[in-house]
Amino acid sequence: MLFRGYQLARQFHIAIPVVSGAVLLVVLANLAAATCMNPGFLPRATADEPAPEEAPATYKLASINGVQVKLKFCSTCNFYRPPRVSHCSTCNRCLEVFDHHCEFVKRSRSEL
């Protein structure tokens, strides 16, 4: 028999299949949320935006809240990435605070 909840409830306690079912629902809800939520993709440069005439510099200095930071140019997405933004080679997109690419849900995860 595949589902032994009835036997567990009769032999031990009714709470065992009830708690197991609740845990299963929570796990499935988290899986659905991880699959459907936006992990923090940054929009790519559109065709309307002017393309650089020559190859852009790899780094550009910018002042953010009075602090000088280096912005790296992403040649795939065609923009200078803000601090803490990384490019996922599997998704081929830039993400805010990139954590890892999850093979189970086939999406990139970030720390947001």
36 among known catalytic residues: no
Q: Which of 77, 88, 91, 102 is catalytic?
A: 102
Alpha carbon dihedral 86, 92, 95, 98, in 10-degree steps, equals: -60
Q: How far apart are CA 90 and CA 44, in angstroms?
A: 16
- Where are any strands of DSSP class E within 26-78? 59-64, 67-74
> Which sequence positions are flagged as catalytic?
102
